[in-house]
Structure 1
Amino acid sequence: MKNILLPIDFKGSEQLLLDKAYEIAEKFKSKVWLIHVAAPDPDYIGYDAGPQSIRDSRAEELREEHKQIQTYARSLTQKGIETDALLIQGTTVDTLLEKTEALNIDLMVIGRQSHGLFYKAIFGSVADSLVKKTSIPILIVPLD
């Protein structure tokens, strides 16, 4: 197991996932790829990408997310784990599947929180979608 993919969603459970990825990477001498898939910029039909204040706010949000994922990568590197961090805009499931193939990922470590039926009906589950669409092993870490 050479490459582990760890998607980060910045919902407060990152440390638990980082600890689990570290534990596995240490045992198998694996590289950890941290990835945050940021929502794509909204399309405004027939207009530029919105007012400058919205573009500036979005750019600042992406800078902060990039800074945070780099901090997580440094924390793993300081523990002796080879780590790279990526921040990519796109649709979550499709982007993760593309990166899984491009980076030759052997294992994906993802978190999963319980949601009610209404939430699942509206938003679905990234974990469920990934399990259905990939053939690589996925370690699902309960976050509740």
Structure 2
Amino acid sequence: MDKIKNILVAVDLYGGSEEVAGVAAGFAEAFSAKLYFLHVERGYPEIMGDPDVPDERDVVASEVRASHRELQEFRDKMTPPGVEAVALQIQGRTVQKIISEARALDIDLMVVGFHRDGLHHLLADDVIKRVLNHAPCPVVVVPPPTR
């Protein structure tokens, strides 16, 4: 494998990403690599129905902006000094977007997290399996912290 220059860490803003980001940050620091924090929003369907509901679109836009600010704050908190880092928030299907961004950004290493609890665990497990099957680069899977 060539030198690791670009690392992508998949971030879930709903909790549990600190361990994953910490591992990715450690790799970025060790390899002097650029670190991409990627959060994929599932997307919001078009508002259908009454045209007198423009406030709904404003609410969605406000939520997207707030989520991006949260991602930027998370990036700032988790990035070691001297490491270049970028916060990316995109909308779409999680696995497809992770893979397409990894290819577009010429990612050399991906870091993803595994969750253990409830329905989120089942969904995350499926996402990780599909990322592993389609990844254009090595993938590090970080287990949840032991309790």
TM-score, normalised via structure 1 length: 0.84
Instruction: Give the aligned partner of residue 110 of structure 2.
Output: 108
Please give the alpha-carbon distance, in whole angstroms, between the structure 2 residues aligned to 1:64 and 1:92.
19
Is 1:43–1:49's contact at 8 Å kept on the other side of the alignment?
A: no
Residue equivalent to 1:33: 36
The answer for the alignment partner of 2:9 in structure 1 is 6
- Which residue is equivalent to 2:62? 60
Secondary structure of the residue aligned to 1:108 is strand
Match of 1:131 in 2: 132
Q: Distance in 2 between matches of 1:50 and 1:124?
A: 41
Q: Is the 8 A contact 1:76 1:82 kept in 2?
A: no
**How big is the alpha-carbon RMSD for the aligned residues of Structure 1 and Structure 2?**
2.6
Query: Structure 1 residue 39: deviation in Å?
Result: 1.4
How far is the alpha carbon of 1:54 from its aligned partner?
2.7
Q: What is the one-letter code of the residue matched to 2:34?
A: K
Structure 1 unmatched runs, 5+ = none
- Contact 2:6 / 2:108 at 8 angstroms: preserved in 1? yes
Q: Which amino acid aligns with 2:143?
A: P
Question: Offset at 1:91?
Answer: 0.8
Aligned length: 141
Large movers: runs of 4+ above 6 Å: none
**Relative to 1, partners in 2 of residues 1:124 and 1:50: Cα closer, same or farther, differing over 3 Å?**
farther
Unaligned runs of 5+ in 2: none
Q: Identity of aligned pairs, percent?
A: 33
